[in-house]
């Protein structure tokens, strides 16, 4: 932040002091990307022109006041693409090779030979065709999986997915895949996209991975589908309620892998987020176009191909 401190008057604040700090501010850097403090302090944004959030998802700051204003919204797209793709490949391999089962048997000092699965040739559907979805598709394809995307517009010539099916026809396509990966942004159209109907439409024994947003999934419906044995497992990095409540049944399900919203958090990620803001700040001061400008109606940064 040193370069920015030399070029501007920088105020640091927590959620409680945000309204006071916003008075007279031209730009706001929301470093605490899970904070929901911005809507409550918005009345104090008397000259704000630009808001940057230190995450790819912008749902914590998407509210009518910002959406209807002239304030430009940018995000930190690009920091997490590769790391999250690696996480997805990791859990796909973990399911196929039953690493969790091996660790349980190791804890019990039990020598139990088993057969495991190949991932090469297995069909996977990546729901969300933004940068994280594309990085995931490329890595999964490199590992030999057959990848299809699900996005707003159907097409057969996508450079990363090949075929993209329309998200509004998701239920019709889900039975064709062994793995389903949710990486879509949280919008009005994607909230609770995975409910009892869609999860129940998945192929019996299929595995579900959510690295997008917890609110993409109806948690109770997912628990029910897992308990029924319809799904072969789930890897969940995000949840409707975070931290995940200690009494959630998900904690004790042997076919569930849980991580605490860390799929993209590699060593150095916090500095990388500030570097994205610093680059945009330099552009803003110089009057150059900002990177990662969010379409506030869509709720994400539009890509040339979406």
The alpha helices in 114-161, defined as continuous H runs, are: 131-142
Q: Phi-psi bin for 86: left (phi > 0), alpha (psi -120 to 50), beta?
A: alpha
The most distant pair of C-alpha atoms in the chain lies apart, rounded to whole Å, by 67
Stated as kind and residue range, the H or E segment containing 101 is: helix 99-107
HSE, side-chain direction, 13 A CA sphere, residue 43: 1
Beta bridge partners of 264: none
Question: DSSP strand E in the chain: where?
Answer: 27-30, 50-53, 72-74, 123-127, 146-151, 155-158, 162-166, 179-182, 207-210, 233-236, 256-258
Active-site residue identified among 5, 169, 172, 242? 242
CA 170 to mean position of chain CA atoms: 18
Active site includes 213? yes
State the Cα–Cα distance between residues 112 and 114, nearest whole angstrom: 6
Active site includes 261? yes
Active-site residue identified among 52, 134, 173, 213? 213
Active-site residue identified among 230, 261, 283, 291? 261
Beta bridge partners of 30: 53
The catalytic residue positions are: 213, 242, 261
């Amino acid at each position: 932040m040193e370069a920015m401190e030399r070029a501007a008057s920088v105020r640091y604040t927590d959620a409680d002091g945000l309204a006071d700090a916003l008075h007279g501010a031209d730009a706001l850097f929301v470093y605490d990307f899970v904070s929901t403090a911005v809507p409550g302090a918005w009345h104090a944004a008397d000259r704000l022109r630009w808001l940057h959030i230190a995450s790819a998802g912008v749902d914590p700051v998407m509210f009518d006041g910002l959406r209807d204003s002239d304030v430009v919204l940018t995000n930190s797209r690009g920091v997490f693409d590769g790391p999250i793709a690696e996480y997805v490949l990791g859990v796909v391999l973990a399911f196929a090779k039953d690493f969790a089962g091996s660790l349980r048997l190791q804890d019990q000092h039990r020598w139990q030979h088993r057969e495991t699965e190949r991932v090469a040739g297995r069909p996977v559907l990546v729901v969300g065709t933004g940068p994280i979805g594309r990085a995931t598709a490329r890595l999964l394809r490199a590992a030999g999986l057959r990848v299809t995307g699900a996005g707003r517009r159907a097409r057969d010539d996508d450079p990363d997915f090949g075929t993209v099916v329309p998200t509004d026809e998701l239920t019709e396509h889900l039975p064709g895949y062994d793995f389903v990966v949710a990486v879509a942004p949280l919008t009005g159209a994607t909230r609770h996209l995975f409910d009892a109907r869609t999860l129940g439409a998945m192929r019996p024994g299929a595995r579900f991975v959510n690295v997008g947003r917890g609110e993409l999934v109806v948690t109770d419906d997912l628990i029910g589908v897992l308990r029924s044995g319809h799904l072969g497992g789930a890897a969940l990095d995000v949840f409707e309620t975070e931290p995940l409540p200690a009494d959630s049944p998900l904690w004790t399900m042997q076919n569930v892998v849980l991580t605490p919203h860390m799929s993209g958090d590699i060593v150095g990620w916090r500095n990388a987020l500030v570097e994205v803001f610093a680059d945009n700040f330099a552009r803003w001061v110089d009057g150059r176009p900002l990177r990662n400008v969010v379409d506030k109606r869509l709720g994400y940064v539009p890509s040339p191909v979406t």
